[in-house]
Homo-oligomer: A and B are copies of this chain.
Amino acid sequence: MKSLKVGMLGCGTVGSQIARLLVANKADLTSRAGAQIELVKVAVRDAKVKRDGVPDNLITTDANSIVNDPNIDLIIEVIGGISPAKELILTALKNGKSVVTANKALLAKDGAELYEAANKANVDLYYEAAVAGAIPILRPLRESLVGDQVIRIMGIVNGTTNYILTKMDESGTAFADALKQAQDLGFAEADPTADVEGFDAADKAAILAGLAFHSRVTDKDVYREGISKITATDVKVAKAMEMVIKLLAITELTAAGEISVRVHPALISRNHPLASVRESYNAVFVEAKSAGQMMFYGRGAGGEPTASAVLGDLVAIARHKISGGIGPKESDYASLKIAPIGQTKTKYLIRLNVADKPGVLESVAHVFAAHSVSIQTVRQTGAGDKAELIVMTHSSTESALSATVKDLSNLPAVTDVASVLRVEGAM
């Protein structure tokens, strides 16, 4: 039986699980790949760190010696970040080695360059683990739905923010308290910016958008808002209206045939399948022209779940190496443009603190009408000289809504615009 030699770049949480599973599942993997898969070299920054299950003699600090080793067939990259991961992957591809990576940031930034390098060398570049961890979503999008047309994807693709929002929903805590709790439990980093401000989700949104619409989409194309401004009151109001707030990565085709791609918190109905995705779980909701609505749910992070996704890819490229053929390439034949966020249409929920006197609703309604933003429902609450107006709009462009909000905040009757949230996922 032929043997395939694997070199791994990086050996942190994910890498050490990959090394362990390659040994633990050896018989299964061999049978399924049609070849022995052998880990022969592992590049790390600090060779002195003890790594359980990785024999010392595999360890090297010279990553270049792996990607340039003619005896190594396949490369796993789990270093993360842009450099030196990018240079190492490009060298490996140029040297005819297929690559599995979990590097979402790199793919979102420089995916096009990597895809082209893989095409040129006629080797595989697989990255299932880069989006929604263990959930098989990229392979279904790229292979199962290949005869269909994706219309829209809405994903909960960041476990940290979903954990925080779940806690806020369940216990009514403020954002800061929920974040603290997530940090104490290891669900959030000491510096939580990449998660709570939506940067991580934006990388994944770019990758999903590119795959779904056969176009090149980068992290810079993604409109992004985080969850740090979501208040306990926002969550409470959502709950009273049978909705829940989620940080969504959304990509869809606009009426003009452009790609809208964005990450922001949004209200969704409690009946929506995404509403029941709790804690640090991830889920990706896909609408396709023929297949209709689908959802893929599971663990979005963690060493072992991510390692499972990497091994799935590793077996696929090993099979290609043994039995011929190659996986579907990334396609950019559609070359669609990115729609400006101002043209994105969605529904909005706006909460206004207003003076409780006659004529307030009239003046508020006048502002909406002036910008052609159509109101679906208005609810007025409160007593004394203070009142709250909760306005749900019909579908409206972001630019019309922004102009409306600006004018509302200048109305004498409006004390302040307490919150503006998008409403997504009409079922």
Contact = CB atoms under 8 A, between A and B. Distances in A.
Contact of A315 (B146, B298, B312, B333): B146
Contact of A145 (B29, B288, B295, B312): B312
A293 interface: yes
A139 to B, nearest CB: 5
A311 to B, nearest CB: 2
Interface string A269-291: 00001001000000100001011
In this complex, the member of A291, A297, A312 whose beta carbon has the largest number of chain B beta carbons within 10 angstroms is A291
A307 to B, nearest CB: 6
A297 B312 contact: no
A305 interface: yes
A324 B296 CA distance: 30
A326 B323 contact: yes
A144 B139 contact: yes
Contacts of A314: 147
Interface string A317-334: 001100111101001010
Given A139-B144, A291-B299, 12 more contacts: A21-B290, A25-B149, A29-B147, A31-B331, A128-B144, A134-B290, A134-B291, A136-B136, A140-B140, A148-B312, A276-B276, A296-B297
Contacts of A293: 297-299
A143 interface: yes
A51 interface: no
Interface residues of A, number: 56
Interface in A108-141: 128, 134-136, 139-140
Nearest to A276: B276
A290 B319 contact: no
Nearest to A322: B325
A315 B148 CA distance: 11
Contacts of A283: 295
A171 B371 CA distance: 43
Interface of A: 17, 21, 25, 28-29, 31-32, 128, 134-136, 139-140, 143-149, 214, 273, 276, 283, 288, 290-299, 302, 304-305, 307-312, 314-316, 319-320, 323-326, 328, 331, 333
Contacts of A21: 147, 290
A290 B315 contact: no
Contacts of A309: 144, 291
A146 B145 CA distance: 20
B147 A308 contact: yes
Nearest to A140: B136
Contacts of A320: 325
A324 B320 CA distance: 9
Given A21-B290, A140-B139, A299-B291, A147 B312 contact: yes
Contact of A146 (B32, B144, B323, B333): B32
A292 B309 CA distance: 11
Contacts of A140: 136, 139-140
Contacts of A302: 292
Contacts of A333: 31
A104 to B, nearest CB: 17
B276 A143 contact: no
A24 to B, nearest CB: 9
